[in-house]
Amino acid sequence: MTDVLLVILVLLSIVILLMILFSGKKDRGEEAVRSIGDSLKRLEVIFEQQGKSLKDDFQRGRGEDQANFARNRMELSKNLENFQGRLEKMRETIEVKLKDIQVDNNNRLEEMR
């Protein structure tokens, strides 16, 4: 995006420069050329600053994303451990109930004999 803006500004500057040169007044043209040159230098500095700022923002964003991903992994791990514990308790409860049912069935079977 920055490259596109730079190209557009350069093209506009060239068009303005050509218009000034063909207007016929040399003194005004030279002054305008200097003014355009100064403006281009200022634009270059601004673009460099913006580029550095964007790089810093992207780097900071990547760092924040990595921290968020780490927190999400930790939270997911805790949730899975919690779920595993609850599932194990359910399994134990079902196992106990099943043994009780088996004992009860065996007792009833013995009574029937």
pLDDT recorded at residue 26: 56
Per-domain boundaries in the chain: 2-83
In whole angstroms, give the CA distance from residue 68 to residue 1: 28
Give me the DSSP letters along the chain. -HHHHHHHHHHHHHHHHHHHHHTS-HHHHHHHHHHHHHHHHHHHHHHHHHHHHHHHHHHHHHHHHHHHHHHHHHHHHHHHHHHHHHHHHHHHHHHHHHHHHHHHHHHHHHHH-
Average pLDDT of the chain to the nearest whole number: 87
The amino acid present at 64, given as its one-letter code, is E
Amino acid at 106: N
pLDDT, position 74: 98
Cα separation, 73 vs 67, whole angstroms: 10
Mean pLDDT of 32-38: 80
Report whether 55 contacts 21 (CB < 8 A). Answer: no
More confident residue, 3 or 38: 38
Confidence of residue 25 (pLDDT cuts 50, 70, 90): low
On whether the CB atoms of residues 13 and 40 are closer than 8 A, the answer is: yes
Whole-structure pTM value: 0.50
